[in-house]
A and B are shown apart, each in its own frame.
Chain A
Amino acid sequence: MTLELRDVGKSVGGKPHIHPTQLTLERGTMNVLLGPTLAGKTTLMRLMAGLDVPNTGRVFWDGQDVTGRRVQDRDIAMVYQQFINYPSMSVYDNIASPLRQMGKSKAEIDTAVTATADLLKLTPMLSRKPLELSGGQQQRCALARALVKGAGLVLLDEPLANLDYKLREELRVEIPKIFEASGAIFVYATTEPEEALLLGGNTATLWEGRITQFGPTPQVYRQPVDATTARVFSDPPMNFVHITKSGQGLEFGDGQTAAAEGGFAALPDGRYRAGFRPNHLELTRHGEAALEFRCTLAVTEITGSETFVHLHHGPDRWVGLVHGVHDLPLGAEMPVYLDPAHIYIFGENDALVAPAPYALAA
């Protein structure tokens, strides 16, 4: 079972929503569509589902062209950000509804519903109506409906976005386990890089209607192909600074220079952009090689165990994520430190020219 998008593109009123896209998803895999709001995640899912017909390209299911086929005739299930259940049916009837539609026997339906409800911890709520359930339970019910159907393609469109933090964490851990056994192709849209990393599988990063990179999630995270992917797959977004390579050194301004070793050594001289993740910025020096930048503190956000520091470094706006509570004076000039091993180097055209040495080592 494979789903293949060949040059699939969609534009509405002359405005491209999805640029021609190639994507092949394999059976039994979890595939995350990661991108900010309006990047085209939902549109791409609608194209996969057949809810929208692409303007260009074809969609293949198991090698068979299904581009024009109606949603009703496809083997899919979908879960939405809103909790979509039939309001007048009990949880049991809700879960049973796709099976009844398929004309399964009563005994078969009962077995499947009981098993699915058990898996999603809905057994005590089977006789209740969806609106008598909490948000998390309502979404479990919707997930159960999608799961019980045994569809070949399961689309999950930000299914946890409307849930509170605690429930989100709980379901996020459960979802991959629940779906692993079914062997279907899963597509999971999210705006949160953290969610993609937790779900594992493959990740496709989306930016303005384009898939910028598709591959195993950890690989996409460690070796983004360009600055856009790196920005999308980092929360808060990746920080950037302009650098110049000349001879054996990388000049960062402020009189800071790092030795161009390893992958950096082969780069031709010229101007580049260095990128680093917020969690690699440090408030104290951790080694001889660390670069020191003088920044002005704009805002601090303390979340408990972590502190986000928003910094102005000349024209650059940086965010640092540091452990512990740091009550720092606003507007103060302060030094921050960065290990050169955590630097990705991007060319002026956005493409990655040298990955961070730490990522290669991992």
Chain B
Amino acid sequence: MDKTTNQKAWFLVLPVLVLVAFSAVIPLMTVVNYSVQDTFGNNVFFWAGLEWFEQALSSDRLWAAFGRQIMFSAIILTIQIPLGIFVALNMPKKGFWASFCLVVMALPLLIPFNVVGTIWQIFGRVDIGLLGHTLDAMGIDYNYTNDVLDAWITVIVMDVWHWTSLVALLAYAGLQSIPEAYYQAAKIDQASRWKVFRYIELPKMQGVLLIAILLRFMDSFMIYTEPFVVTGGGPGNATTFLSIDLVKMAIGQFDLGPAAAFSIMYFLVILLVSWVFYTVMTNLDKREGF
């Protein structure tokens, strides 16, 4: 059979190619460009090879920030996912209160990140903040500006406050899609509340929970604005997560080369972890027959 040759189709793809080139490929390539060169100013660049990558990989500072980042994401996921499910299970299913809960739950998601940071920064202050002052008045020694544990707790509580709603709303959507007949059938089968959760609600929520975990992992792994506003990465480097460290390096010290190399590895790590997550979870789905 003869194949018709028609190259006109390329023109149809062209707009997308141009758009992607300007939005993603060109900026990314600029970073790649910086990561393999050195400069002493005046827009003069020298080839540096993989030097910056080697330097970054052997830097204790980067590994420390990476460790903190992993710890932060792990804590965030272990709190927010179960809490989000718990909230979703206890939300009213219909009527006025369902709409009311949805609006209240959506509120933290609508607040700009730096405003969230500012809210908590003030909220936690010992001198004028409601939380900080109250804790202080109760005799609890709380100060997020000079105590590492307090700083961590503040940043984590803030993130839980900001993002648990997202998990709850996704889980709620998953729960709402379960036909009433499943609950009736379980009732007739004399299934306990736990069994209803384990064998009906959880399997039916799996799809949305996968999305929730993925989103929360990526977002928490890239977190910058809120902890920067609240603690500025301190006390010391205690809450300096990868992004904060990266900005310090790129803008603060103007080390473009190392910062670029760092960014690329950061990007690859997120890509890799997300891919592993996704593959593992979808395989799990298949195994569960969902």
Contact = CB atoms under 8 A, between A and B. Distances in A.
Contacts, number: 57
A90 B187 CA distance: 20
A113 interface: no
A84 interface: yes
A299 interface: no
B275 interface: no
Contact of B199 (A49, A88, A129): A88
A88 B288 contact: yes
A51 B187 contact: yes
B200 interface: yes
A2 B184 CA distance: 23
Interface-centre pick from A82, A88, A97, A130 (highest chain B CB count, 10 A) = A88
A357 to B, nearest CB: 46
Contacts of B179: 82, 84
A3 B54 CA distance: 81
Contacts of B184: 51, 71, 78, 80
A101 interface: yes
B2 to A, nearest CB: 41
Contacts of A80: 181, 184-185
A44 to B, nearest CB: 15
Interface string B96-139: 00000000000000000000000000000000000000000000
Interface in B181-204: 181-182, 184-185, 187-191, 199-200, 202-204
Contact of B289 (A87, A97, A98, A101): A87
Interface residues of B, number: 18
Interface in A76-104: 76-78, 80-82, 84, 86-90, 97-98, 101
B290 interface: yes
B203 A78 contact: no
A78 B199 contact: no
Contact of A130 (B188, B200, B202, B289): B289
A71 B188 contact: yes
Interface string A90-131: 100000011001000000000000000000000000001111
Contacts of B200: 86-87
Interface in B232-290: 288-290
A132 B188 contact: no
B289 A82 contact: no
Given A78-B184, A87-B289, A98 B189 contact: yes
Contacts of B199: 86-89
B204 to A, nearest CB: 6
A129 B189 contact: no
A145 B189 CA distance: 9
Nearest to B290: A87
A84 B289 contact: no
Contacts of B187: 51, 71-72
Nearest to A132: B289
Interface of A: 49, 51, 71-72, 76-78, 80-82, 84, 86-90, 97-98, 101, 128-132, 145
9 contacts: A76-B188, A77-B188, A80-B181, A86-B199, A87-B203, A87-B289, A101-B190, A129-B288, A129-B290
Given A87-B290, A129-B290, 15 more contacts: A51-B184, A72-B187, A72-B190, A82-B179, A84-B179, A84-B185, A86-B200, A87-B288, A88-B199, A90-B289, A97-B191, A101-B191, A128-B289, A129-B288, A131-B290
3 closest residue pairs by CB, A with B: A129-B289, A88-B203, A87-B203
